[in-house]
Structure 1
Amino acid sequence: MDWETRAHALADQVTDPDSRWLALVARTARHLLVPRWWEVDDAGRWVLRDGPSDPEAWADAAYADRSLITRVGTLHADQAKPGDQPKGLPTSSATLPSLVVRMLRHGRLGDGLSLLDLGTGAGGLTAYACHRLGDGCVTSLDVDPYLVSAAGERLASMGHHPKMVTADATEHVPGSYDRIVCTVALTPGPGLRAVLGALEPGGRIATTLAHTSLIITGWKDRNGDVIGQVERDMAGFMLTRSGDDYPPTLAHLFALAHGGQGEETSTGRYPVVDVANAWELRSMLEVTTPGVELGYEINGRQRTAYLVHPDGSWARASAEWTDPPEVHQSGPQRLWDALERIRNRLNAEGALPLLGARVRITPDGVCHLSRGRWRASIGAL
């Protein structure tokens, strides 16, 4: 495989001509980090792809600016057999290179500074960081022992020998670091607190928050607070997890949302939207109504959105294309009403106050957001 030519083309695509990351991306044999991966076929089923058995497809996938799913539920592509059908959500991936470079830029790396790559995955960010800082400055951490082991061996085959750590970052992060760059989404509160404890005073963190696409960056002051901002940039990462897989979704509530009449029926003001892929709406919903889980279906021209919450609330909104939806809601909160309040604000003001907001993260992991007169906190018990 002529991977060098492909890696140079990828570097040209995901960096600027004067970027210090251009040469580092061009020197990284990304295909070695992802020998097998999962793809979704036309029927929506996961299909195993094996790189060495189809070198051309391997090169096309590895040197495209795309994420490659390497683990679904508890089944890693490396350990799968042809015909296996994994169940559940993706739990690991090789993140698309352009996003890896963006997160590294947000991290403000510098010579001699120690870096924690939180969320090893396939090891792509670790590889770029080793090129930039040197192996001795880089630590890569993941909750999954197999991911850490496999990435470590593949990085070693490329000549990189960073420190590889298996740990549950929601509980404890061993060591301390000048920079922390996360390619998993951290949950405000206790989950974020453990990570902040590993950040040196004067150090910088770049992360996303769970159930949002908000990239938070900030500097840790002598009091232990992290002071920064919501970047005018967005990203979607998998959530941190403590176990081998994510906890079960709120299946019983989704069942109610699918078929229940609900306590209240009304006509919605705005068309049905796939909230999970409307990143700014989704982020604001998590800020204002934390913990909502989402579903979305298309059947011909009929579109249906589902919102459920651990407190027992659920909502279903269904309509043909852009017609006003019929909305069914039940439980302590009116979840579709909460979403419509956000859409009202977006229409009235032309923007939501999230991007560019100031951030203060206290040592307990609570994120305090502010912009003008707007205030919000996430992660408070």
Structure 2
Amino acid sequence: MGTAGRPQRPRSLGAGGLQRPHARNRVGPLHADEAESGAEITTGHPTSSSTLPGLVVTMYRHAVIDDESDVLVTTGTGYGTALACRRLGDKRVTSIDVDAALVEKASDRLASVGLTPQTAVCDITGPLPGQYDRIVSTVSVPVVPASWLAALRPGGRLVTTLARTGLIVTADKSPDGGAIGRTAPDAAGFMATRLGDDYPPGLDAVYERARAAEGEAVTTGRYPVLYVPDAWDVWSMLELTVPGIEHRCTDDGDRRTVWLLHPDGSWARAEGQWTDPPTVHQSGPRRLWDELERIRHRLNREGGLPVYGAHVRIDPDGTTHLKRGAWSATIG
């Protein structure tokens, strides 16, 4: 599965060996399997994609799956489910997806190679259909669902990514019903969970205001224009600092314009030529570009950001606490 809330244009985000899903198999409610030859190219936001095989294996390695593990995985195309079945035998694997058509198609593919794991059409953020030793989610969640902690057996492990970040969280169930773990030193991005056929509308109304308007504050930025999702640690840190920012970008030769948009109506637009300091417009209750520059100051001063390798403590209700050194953040 892939990542939601992405910008309006495709980007190459594989620098530093980081991996991101790359092949779309569903756009909005339309499935690639149902595309007709010669039909017009569908436009819109991807709602499912094929995960890079190496990334599936990376997530399973973080789960430390052993021979006796009962594992819950997410379905998508069924590829990751097939790997888990080959490792454990299909009777120990449960595969779920919110999309009934994806579950049906994946089940058919799996059956064609002799694999019959338990499958279910299920919202992964709600009640789960059993008890498990491992939960491995190749969709990202805004907060760890309390239902995962309820469905994990004592000592069980969950592995997931946090929405709008590149953070992989691994955590083992603790006696209090929560979980303890860390953010992995490597990174990945997946599509976010959804409840319907498509994701809700993005921040188009905020973008229309921000596209060319004069900001309430107009300044010259210190650093060259950065499209934040291109810099995984900065992207993750900004999401933990100001959750919910949507990023958009256009390039015109060496000139780049980026927008930071927030549901509270705040926006920032930065325009610059190559490495020149950009002109920055900001409006709304928060100064989003100022928040970004504070993070870039820290990165330059310390040579890194504390988001990767952070200690993680998850409460039984799913509230997630991250801490590394003097830095901390709470999600949920």
**What is the TM-score normalised by the length of structure 1?**
0.80
More helix by share: 1
Mapped to 2, the partners of 1:373 and 1:287 lie a distance apart of: 15
State yes or no: 1:179 paired with 2:148: no
1:357 pairs with 2:310 = yes
* 8 Å contact from structure 2 (residues 29, 197) kept in 1: yes
**Partner SS, residue 140 of structure 1:** strand
1:85 to 19, 31, 41: 41
Show the counterpart of 2:16. none
Q: Tell me what 1:193 maps to.
A: 146
Give the counterpart letter for 1:292 in structure 2. I
How many Å apart are 1:80 and its aligned residue?
A: 1.7
The equivalent residue for 1:62 is: none
CA displacement at 1:66 relative to structure 2: 7.0
Show structure 1 runs of 5+ residues with no match: 1-43, 46-64
Tell me how far apart the structure 2 counterparts of residues 187 and 177 of structure 1 sit (CA, whole Å): 21
Is 1:164 matched with 2:119?
A: yes
Q: Deviation string for 1:63-97 (max 9, x for gaps)?
A: xx974211111111011223233232111112111
Tell me which amino acid in the other structure corresponds to 1:139: T
The one of 255, 264, 277 equivalent to 1:311 is: 264
Deviation at 1:105, TM superposition (A): 0.3
Q: Secondary structure of 2:235's match? A: helix
Runs of 4+ in 1 over 3 A off after TM superposition: none
The whole-number CA distance in structure 1 between the counterparts of 2:265 and 2:154 is: 41
Q: CA RMSD in A?
A: 1.5
1:108 aligned partner? 64
Structure 1 residue corresponding to 2:235, chosen from 282, 296, 300: 282
Matched, 1:219 2:172: yes
Q: Which of the numbers 344, 347, 351 marks the counterpart of 2:300? A: 347
Separation of aligned partners in 1, 2:40 and 2:70: 40
The residue that corresponds to 2:158 in the other structure is 205
Task: Indicate which of 77, 83, 88 corresponds to 1:133.
Answer: 88
The amino acid across from 1:89 in the alignment is H
Cα distance, 1:330 vs structure 2: 0.5
Q: In structure 1, what residue type is equivalent to 2:319?
A: V
In the superposition, relative to structure 1, how do residues 102 and 301 fare at CA in structure 2: closer, same or farther (>3 Å)? same
Q: Deviations over 1:272-298 (max 9, x none)?
A: 111122111110011000011110110
Supply the distance in 1 between the matched residues of 2:179 and 2:260 (Cα, whole angstroms): 32
CA distance in 2, matches of 1:155, 1:322: 50
> C-alpha separation between the residues in 1 aligned to 2:25 and 2:318?
30
Q: Does the 8 Å CA contact 2:259/2:267 hold for their aligned counterparts?
A: yes
1:200 is displaced (CA, Å) by: 1.7
SS at match of 1:197: helix
Which of 308, 318, 329 does residue 376 from structure 1 map onto? Answer: 329
Are 1:331 and 2:284 matched, yes or no?
yes
Considering only CA atoms, is the larger Rg found in Structure 1 or Structure 2?
1
Alignment of 1:96 onto 2:49: no
Give the letter aligned to residue 146 of structure 1: A
How many residues of Structure 1 are paired with residues of Structure 2 in the alignment?
Answer: 314
Residue identity opposite 1:174 in structure 2: P
The letter for the 2-side match of 1:101 is V
